[in-house]
């Protein structure tokens, strides 16, 4: 039987998100599969604050949102980037930074909210992502809302001196709408 997904809320970033974001970015278990520099720490708290500010002011091309639990706890972030308005597609990225919330359906629930936002409010037709082939946990959670595999991007990420293949996956608006019956 299908498990009930937890309720999550997405909200615009605020500058006070900086401390949580910095803490999560210092956790190498969280960042292992993220496209971040190999050096440690990957960036300073000041650089993190500047990045959050760019997201708030939308000067970096990202539609980035904070993920909150039903009772308002900040647990991660999710974004759309590489927004191609001509062809109506964008790349999605997601991180549940608070590891206490891993494996409980929060990633899938946040993904559903972002897909709704992307298809209904941004007007996209396809939302795609790249995931490292050894990030099995993420791949299996992406299949739940209906992402399908598009192909392997060979040696797509240089991770700690080794090139890693990434899987490209996508979901179309028509597939998501059929699944979720959004009105
Ligand atoms: C990848 C990531 C976003 C997934 O989020 P998550 O909240 O841990 O994943 P979910 O709980 O939503 O889904 C994963 C599993 O939980 C299961 N699950 C647990 N509770 C559930 C519930 N209430 N409802 C539905 N599924 C549930 C899912 O079935 C799935 O199980 P499976 O792996 O056995 O198929 C998160 O682990 C993360 O941020 N990792 C670090 C950063 C990262 O790798 N980001 C992705 C880069 S591409």
CA–centroid distance, 6 to ligand 1, in Å, is: 12
Per-residue pLDDT band at 183 (split at 50, 70, 90): very low
Answer yes or no: are the C-beta atoms of 99 and 27 closer than 8 Å: yes
| Residue 34 Cα: closest atom of ligand 1 | 47
What is the rounded CA–CA span in Å between residue 13 and residue 54? Answer: 10
Which domain does 152 fall in, by range? Answer: 8-180
Q: Is 87 part of any domain? A: yes
Q: Is 28 part of any domain? A: yes
Structure confidence by residue, pLDDT tens digits, 89-147: 999 999 999 999 999 999 999 999 999 999 999 999 999 999 999 999 999 999 988 99
Work out the percent of the chain whose per-residue pLDDT is above 90: 90
| Residue 29 Cα: closest atom of ligand 1 | 41
What is the rounded CA–CA span in Å between residue 25 and residue 30? Answer: 7
Give the number of domains in the chain. 1
Q: Is 3 part of any domain? A: no
What phi and psi values does residue 65 have, to the nearest 5 degrees? -130, 150
**Rg of the Cα atoms in the chain:** 16
| Site residues for ligand 1, CB cut-off 6 Å | 3-5, 30, 33-34, 94-96, 102-108, 131, 135, 137-138, 140-141
Q: Is 74 part of any domain? A: yes
Q: Is 1 part of any domain? A: no
pLDDT at 182 over 90: no
pLDDT for the residue 48: 97
CATH number at residue 74: 3.40.630.30
Q: Is 2 part of any domain? A: no
What is the rounded CA–CA span in Å between residue 35 and residue 43? Answer: 13
Per-residue pLDDT band at 3 (split at 50, 70, 90): confident
3-state secondary structure of 158: strand
* Measured CA distances, 159 to 135, 162, 166 (Å): 13, 5, 11
pLDDT for the residue 43: 93
Q: Is 122 part of any domain? A: yes
Mean pLDDT, the chain, rounded, equals 94
pTM of structure: 0.94
| Residue 136 Cα: closest atom of ligand 1 | 33
């Amino acid at each position: 039987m299908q498990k009930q997904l937890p309720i999550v809320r997405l909200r615009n970033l605020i500058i006070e998100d900086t401390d949580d974001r910095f803490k999560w970015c210092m956790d190498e278990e969280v960042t292992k599969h993220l496209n971040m520099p190999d050096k440690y720490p990957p960036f300073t708290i000041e650089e993190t604050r500047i990045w959050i500010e760019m997201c708030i002011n939308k000067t970096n091309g990202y539609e980035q949102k904070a993920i909150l639990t039903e009772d308002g706890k900040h647990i991660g972030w999710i974004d759309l980037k590489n927004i191609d308005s001509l062809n109506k597609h964008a790349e999605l990225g997601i991180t549940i930074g608070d590891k206490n919330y891993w494996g409980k359906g929060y990633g899938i629930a946040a993904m559903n909210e972002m897909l709704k936002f992307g298809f209904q409010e941004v007007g996209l037709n396809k939302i795609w992502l790249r995931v490292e082939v050894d990030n099995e946990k993420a791949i299996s959670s992406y299949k739940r809302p209906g992402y399908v595999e598009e192909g392997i991007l060979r040696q797509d990420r240089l991770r700690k001196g080794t090139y890693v293949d990434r899987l490209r996956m996508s979901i179309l608006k028509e597939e998501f709408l059929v699944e979720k019956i959004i009105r």
